[in-house]
Amino acid sequence: METPSATPPPSARQGLSARQILLIVFGSILLVSALVSAAVIGWFQYNFNPAPMQPVVLSEVEKQAFTTKLSALGDPAMAPVFLKFPAHDRASAPAFTTPSAAPVPTVPAGLENKTLILTEREVNAYLASQNLGENIQVSFGEGRVITAIILEVPQDFPILPGQKVRARITFGTGLTPEHKLSLVFNDLHVGGISLPNAWLGDLKGVDLIAENLQRDPALQRFISGIRSLEIHPGGARVILNE
């Protein structure tokens, strides 16, 4: 009787050679370096060589609704207000409080025709109509206005003098405990980095409206016409005085 031939054991799997391991490690390092370099270049190009922003254009229906709102506010009251940034001690800035989750306000009876809702799109379209849409755009948070801006750094600034940069400025806005309109400079970010208050002339926490109100009669008249102002994500609610 023939003895069945034994099946030869499978050959042991060969491990990676030292040369193959080195090639894999070297290739991984090159790939990671390329990804990091691309991310850094993209971050630098976005923040320090920014392309113009896309201006917001309203549809015809949106334009008609916004025109009605502007007529309620009354031109030239909606003309841009240019604020002077003062050198100011933060400790003397007025108190400003904004509820973390303010409820949608109820419109008082008889004041329906005095209440305006301004959307982000409408505000940005207005900026575009003033030839600012490629360099300034705003968005709303809870009690905050966030302004994205492309600007040229002043020559006397500590870093990047004369460089065009993309920045983000955050303002707190609403009514102070004394029921006065307030616009508080909260922060300035460049490249996602919050700049030190000392570099900004100690502006953080300063109420820019209070600083400019006494010297600007037009601003006084505009503010006196506002009964209340609330900022919520996506829009602002304004109730005008009689």
More confident residue, 174 or 122: 122
Neighbour-count burial for 171-190, b at 16+ CB within 10 Å, e otherwise: bbbbbbeeeebbbbbbbbbb
Judge whether residue 76 has pLDDT over 70. Answer: no
Tokens of residue 105, six digits = 């306000």
Over residues 125-151, mean pLDDT = 90
Q: For the segment 182-194, what is each residue's pLDDT rounded down to a tens digit? A: 889 999 988 888 9
Over residues 52-80, mean pLDDT = 74
Tokens of residue 63, six digits = 């334009």
More confident residue, 162 or 5: 162
Q: How confident is the model at residue 112 (pLDDT cuts 50, 70, 90)?
A: low
Tell me, what's the pLDDT at 5? 54
Judge whether residue 97 has pLDDT over 70. Answer: no
Tell me, what's the pLDDT at 100? 38
First-last CA distance in the chain: 117
Judge whether residue 99 has pLDDT over 60. Answer: no
Distance (Å, whole) CA 47 – CA 57: 24
Distance (Å, whole) CA 161 – CA 169: 19
Tell me, what's the pLDDT at 52? 87
Report which listed range, 101-110, 152-161, 202-211, is most confident: 202-211
DSSP bridge pairs for 232:
235
Reference 122, options 105, 104, 138; nearest CA is 138
**Integer angstrom CA distances of residue 195 from 19, 42, 186:** 49, 21, 11
Domain ranges of the chain: 17-49, 60-240
Over residues 195-217, mean pLDDT = 83
Judge whether residue 25 has pLDDT over 60. Answer: yes
Q: How confident is the model at residue 171 (pLDDT cuts 50, 70, 90)?
A: very high
Over residues 64-90, mean pLDDT = 54
